[in-house]
Every structure is written in structure tokens, then in C-alpha cells.
Amino acid sequence: MANKPAHAQALLELKNVRVHYGGVKALDGVDISLFDGEVVALMGPNGAGKSTVLKAIAGIAPVDNGTIAYCNKPITPVVHLMAHKGIVLVPQGRRVFTRLTVEENLELGGFIIKNKNELKERIEDILKLFPALKKKRTERAGTLSGGQQQMVALARGLIVNPKALLLDEPSLGLAPKLVKEVFAKIREINQIKNTAILVVEHNVRTLLETVNRAYVLDKGKVAAEGTAEKILKSDILEKVFLGKLNG
């Protein structure tokens, strides 16, 4: 995995981003950056704002204040345009089209690719990363195991060759063995494709073994940021998960 460049511009950068749901401050002045080739974690307890960060970038959660910049240019995220820009969100919950085949799911992931031959080549290229799916390409996604469905969701997100991949709880509901497989695949995607990945995950230790840097969120704010080693050596995770950050 790549290390954060000393003086490079961030691929994706949030500055002072605020998001409200009614009267609730989901994000309260968040600063987050993602550099080319990095894998960066967003961690924290339920309600900390982790998934909201991804939704704000993807255009699902409206930003009340602050800026989101991509390739050093401010953007206003719009859901159906993000794949064109090179930003793809893989939402939590193994969201696959259960009645469609694996290949048809991947075709839908390439909805912005108008050339059918190019789309076919992209699918073949991605299936090299997912040999288990290649064997099941004609089977309905709904008949696959939970782990295989998560792989379909990951593969579908990669069809447009995104520069930034946003992953929301990729191991949710999976058995420990499958969690390891999912994170091994995330590392492989990062290394082979050099895809920058911003990932929300509740399996903290497994996640910190995978990432370059991590942000710890608490009550809509960034409570800490640093390398995985720095976060592990500190007591910040214990504080935020036990509600002792300010007490």
C-alpha cells in the first residue's frame, strides 16, 4: 500500500464539512483527506458519522457547509454523476440484484460505459481478480453465499475503474473467515489497481491491519487521525467506544 506523500495534493479532501439530519448534527466540521493509492479507515462508535462521510462524498447526504474537493477541484456531489468522476460507493448490506446473474450485476456496474465491447473487456478484467465469481458468472446473485455476494458488490464497484472506492461496512454480517477474505481482497484491489480506498468498518483490528491511515470519529467530529500503528498505540479507540472522550 502506498504511503501518504509528504507534499502531494489529496485525491479527495473534505474541509469543514457539516451535515444535518433535521436537528441532528451528523457531521460537525469534518476534515478528511484521501491520497492516491491509499487505504484509509473511518472508525468510531455507532452514530459517530462514519457512513455519513461516505454518503456526503457520494451525493446521498446533502452538505450544509464546507467543501469537498476531488483532484484539487471543489465539487458538488450528485449521485448519478459520481461514477463519471471516478468515485464509486459500495454501500453496506451486500446490495446485489438477487434475480440477476453475477455477470448482469457487473454489467449494471458499468452503466456509464456505452461501448459494449469495452464493457465486456472490463468485466473479463475484473473477473480475473475474482476467480470464484468467474465460475459462477451465469448464476443468480441471490443464490450465492453472503461472502460471494459481497465480492459481487466489490467487483461491480470496480467496473468503471474508479480512482476512489468508498466501502461502507464491507464485512457486515459475515463469518470471521469470510471477513479475512474480504479484507484480503481489498488489499489486492489496492495493490493491483492502485485504487484509493476509504473504508468504514466495525472490525477495528482487522481494519487497522489493512490501512495506511485512520480517522477516528466521535459525535460527528474527527477525534484523532494518524497511522494505524499510532491509533493502535493510543487509547483513543477505548475512549470513544466507551464514551469517555470528554469525561
Q: Is the pLDDT of residue 231 over 60?
A: yes
What's the pLDDT tens digit per position in 56-65? 999 999 999 9
Q: What is the pTM of this model?
A: 0.91
Residue pLDDT, tens place only, 40-84? 999 999 999 999 999 999 999 999 999 999 999 999 999 999 999
For residue 34, pLDDT over 90 is answered with yes
Q: In what order do the strands lie in the sheet with 213-218?
A: 87-90, 164-168, 196-200, 39-43, 213-218, 221-227
Whether pLDDT at 7 is above 70: no
CATH 1.10.10.10 is held by the domain 12-241: no
Q: Which whole number is the average pLDDT over 99-109?
A: 96
pLDDT reported for residue 247: 46
